[in-house]
């Protein structure tokens, strides 16, 4: 189990009818210690990166066939039929992909698909601890189709980094909004790790606060190469699951201690959220927004630390935003709650072409003075219903 006492990228993925037409194994009546599911929705232009990540995974730590730890991979990669497999090492040390369920083509960007895979995992592998890694495109709290529709002031140029980031999620036009993701998770997980973009927002974390004890995510985009799966699986199977080690491994992959080993882009952000602490953080923000309502329209949105590029102005630093409107005493209480909620955080000095000068580990949307489609949708989020940021 994850030790709370020692605490130190969907998923606008995924809506469409899902039919489980599959050949599958029958549940085994024994208990397992830990079950980790890597859910790869790569029936899109990320397929080559998904294949590389699966191969990387096989070269790292894999539980043995007799182990009570279970590593599952759901993979729907463009050009292949979707399947759920258990990875284990046989008695000779060879990595085996044991097919738990094989499916006909379906939409992995559907909440029904994700729900079915999660429920199958729980039925076949009853365990005390479940962890979920979500791998795909993503765009934070945004509704389907909004990311990429905004235009930056003046001419908007093509994204020079389009081929190396996971910016925007789809499976043949389908996406999963955050409320649908919440509905797809029918039991509480120990943690959710997002290997996808923009999921490190307060709106996402608050929406999913009852679905996992801890959440790991990035407030910025994530490079398409993603997590180093040959290294990050072992800490998940420690007696006390070590999420900080996972995050630190990921961060050091892109910002190594030895500058000589730095990658070309040297860009990464990541943070860990204790979901038990998010309610108090929301309460403090609710009070600050109510007390300082008249200041909100006066905030220069572009003076706040951004986490976005090319005019996609939906993701700003939460602490920097609050500092623009809160009194000194309000900031003290806010910072205490923020530090409780964000247990660990890492950031490079830049993410691609965005300088990271201020970093709280959580993003937030700053509403425009003139209400638009973003503000209308924002009112449906649990975070806004609690805090009344958009009134």
What pLDDT is stored for residue 110 in this prediction? 87
Q: Cα(32)–Cα(207) distance, rounded to whole angstroms?
A: 29
Give the DSSP H or E segment for 318: helix 318-323
Tokens of 167: 């910016």
In sign, the C-alpha dihedral spanning 301, 302, 306, 310 is positive
**Are 227 and 9 in contact, with CB atoms under 8 Å apart?**
no
Q: Minimal CA–CA distance to 39: which of 1, 84, 97, 86?
A: 84
Q: Cα(57)–Cα(54) distance, rounded to whole angstroms?
A: 5
| Cβ-based neighbour number of residue 110 at 10 Å | 23
Domains in the chain, CATH or no CATH each: 11-273 (3.40.50.11970), 278-387 (no CATH)
* Cα 324 to Cα 237, 319, 356, distances in angstroms: 42, 9, 18
Task: Write the DSSP string, 248-297.
Answer: HHHHHHHS-SSGGG--SS---EEEEEEGGGHHHHHHHHHHHHHHTGGGGG
Residues 6+ away with beta carbon under 8 Å from 261: none
| Cβ-based neighbour number of residue 305 at 10 Å | 21
Separation of first and last alpha carbons in the chain:
40
Question: What's the whole-number average pLDDT of the chain?
Answer: 88
Whole-model pTM?
0.90
Q: What 3-state class would DSSP assign to 194?
A: strand
Q: Minimal CA–CA distance to 201: which of 132, 281, 263?
A: 281
Tokens of 266: 């040297």
What pLDDT is stored for residue 152 in this prediction? 46
How is residue 143 annotated by DSSP?
A: P
| Cβ-based neighbour number of residue 164 at 10 Å | 17
**Are 343 and 334 in contact, with CB atoms under 8 Å apart?**
no
**Are 99 and 83 in contact, with CB atoms under 8 Å apart?**
yes
What pLDDT is stored for residue 224 in this prediction? 87
Residue tagged 């190594």 (tokens): 256
| Cα dihedral value 27, 135, 83, 62, nearest 10 | -60
Q: Cis before residue 11, ω within 30 degrees of 0?
A: yes
What pLDDT is stored for residue 257 in this prediction? 78
**Are 43 and 78 in contact, with CB atoms under 8 Å apart?**
yes
In sign, the C-alpha dihedral spanning 320, 323, 325, 326 is positive
What pLDDT is stored for residue 75 in this prediction? 94
Q: Cα(363)–Cα(219) distance, rounded to whole angstroms?
A: 6
In sign, the C-alpha dihedral spanning 206, 207, 211, 214 is negative
List of E strands, the chain: 22-24, 32-42, 69-77, 83-89, 95-103, 127-135, 189-195, 212-217, 269-274, 316-317, 342-347, 350-351, 354-355, 363-364
Tokens of 348: 């490079």
Ranges of residues in the chain with a pLDDT under 50 are: 5-29, 152-155, 166-169
Per-residue pLDDT tens digits for 97-154: 999 999 988 888 889 999 999 999 999 999 999 999 999 878 899 988 788 665 544 4
Q: Minimal CA–CA distance to 101: which of 123, 84, 87, 115?
A: 84
Tokens of 148: 């990429």
What pLDDT is stored for residue 159 in this prediction? 67
């Amino acid at each position: 189990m994850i030790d709370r006492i020692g605490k130190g990228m969907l998923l606008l993925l995924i809506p469409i009818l899902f039919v489980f037409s599959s050949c599958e194994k029958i549940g085994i009546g024994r208990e397992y210690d830990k079950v980790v599911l890597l859910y790869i929705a790569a029936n899109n232009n990320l397929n080559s990166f998904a294949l590389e990540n699966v191969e990387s995974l096989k070269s790292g730590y894999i539980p043995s066939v007799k182990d009570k730890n279970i590593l599952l991979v759901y993979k729907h990669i463009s050009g292949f039929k979707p399947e759920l497999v258990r990875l284990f090492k046989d008695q000779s040390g060879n990595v085996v992909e044991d097919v738990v369920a094989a499916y006909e083509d379906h939409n992995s960007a559907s909440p029904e698909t994700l729900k079915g895979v999660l429920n199958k995992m729980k039925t076949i592998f009853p365990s005390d601890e479940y962890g979920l890694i979500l791998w795909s495109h993503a765009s934070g709290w945004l509704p389907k189709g909004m990311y990429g529709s905004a235009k930056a002031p003046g001419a908007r140029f093509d994204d020079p980094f389009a081929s190396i980031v996971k910016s925007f999620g789809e499976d043949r036009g389908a996406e999963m909004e955050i409320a649908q993701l919440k509905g797809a998770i029918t039991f509480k997980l120990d943690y959710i790790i997002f290997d996808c973009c923009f999921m490190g927002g307060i709106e996402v974390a608050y929406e999913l606060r009852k679905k996992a004890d801890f959440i790991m995510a990035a407030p910025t985009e994530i490079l398409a190469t993603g997590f180093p799966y040959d290294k990050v699986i072992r800490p998940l199977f420690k007696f006390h699951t070590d999420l900080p080690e996972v995050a630190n491994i990921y961060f050091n992959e892109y910002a190594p201690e030895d500058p000589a080993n730095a990658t070309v882009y040297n860009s990464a952000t990541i943070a860990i959220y204790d979901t038990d602490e998010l309610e108090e953080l929301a309460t403090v923000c609710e009070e600050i927004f109510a007390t300082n309502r008249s200041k909100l329209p006066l905030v220069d949105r572009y003076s706040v630390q951004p986490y976005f590029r090319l005019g996609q102005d939906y993701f700003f630093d939460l602490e920097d935003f609050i500092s623009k409107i809160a009194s000194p005493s309000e900031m003290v209480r806010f910072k205490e709650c923020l530090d409780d909620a964000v247990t660990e955080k890492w950031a490079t000095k830049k993410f691609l072409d965005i300088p990271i000068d201020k970093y709280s580990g959580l993003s937030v949307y700053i509403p425009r003075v003139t209400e638009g489609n973003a503000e209308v949708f924002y009112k449906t989020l649990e975070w806004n219903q609690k805090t009344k940021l958009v009134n």
